[in-house]
Amino acid sequence: MRTRSPEFLLARQPIMDRQRPVVAYELLYRSGDRNAAFFIDDALATTSVVHAAFRRIGISAAIGGARALINVNAEFLLSRRVEELPQNQVMLEILETVEIDEQIVKRCRALKEKGYQLALDDVCHYSETFEPLLEFVDVVKIDVQQLDAASLAILVQKLRAWPARLLAEKVETIGRVQQCLELGIDWFQGFFYGQPVMLAA
């Protein structure tokens, strides 16, 4: 009798602090057995990640004692499904495609009051439209690939006016690591620290 091969529906990428212990993992949608995502749509990708992590693998097996960052678009954020996730194990990563309007800010504030942690994803410029969320989000993820050294320094300086922890994502070189450390960035994610690892469901 043939044994069914495992399905790979999920990958995780580590997020480190300045001393390099793992503080969290971003959970990433994967298609089939390839370490890549062929997107259907953001909401379905999030649903697939949640199903794989919580129902097939088990969240403790997926992330251990760390926290899981899960990408959410506006549809998932505004749905009741998001409140099925355990507040003490996840951080909701608000995708850059989400239009920050009054409804989104109100919803995020309500989730924050319920104990959820929130992150802004793929920030590569400063905009006043972020400010209603910057008042209370826990993490701002800065896409360092999109920024030269001077632009990164300016962006970090502007974001330091807010209480959120800063996370440099897509960090790939020692030079960029050193610059981020000098700027006082708190958390790090990227190929320099670890590539996404597939998890079998």
User: Token digits for 83?
Assistant: 């409140």
Integer Cα distance of 196 and 13 in angstroms: 4
Mark out the alpha helices in 28-148 (DSSP H runs): 42-51, 59-63, 74-78, 102-113, 131-134
pLDDT recorded at residue 54? 86
The whole-angstrom separation of Cα 56 and Cα 19 is 32
Per-domain boundaries in the chain: 8-200
The span from the CA of 52 to the CA of 56, in Å, is 5
Q: pLDDT tens digits, residue range 143-175? A: 999 999 999 999 999 999 999 999 999 999 999
CA distances to 65, 70, 98, 116, 186 from 84, rounded to whole Å, are 19, 13, 21, 11, 29
Domain boundaries 8-200, corresponding CATH code: 3.20.20.450
Question: pLDDT band at 56, cuts 50/70/90?
Answer: confident
* Contacts for 107 with CB less than 8 Å, ≥ 6 apart: 77, 78
pTM of the shown model: 0.90
Arithmetic mean of pLDDT over the chain: 90
Q: pLDDT tens across 61-114, in order?
A: 889 999 999 999 999 999 999 999 999 999 999 999 999 999 999 999 999 999
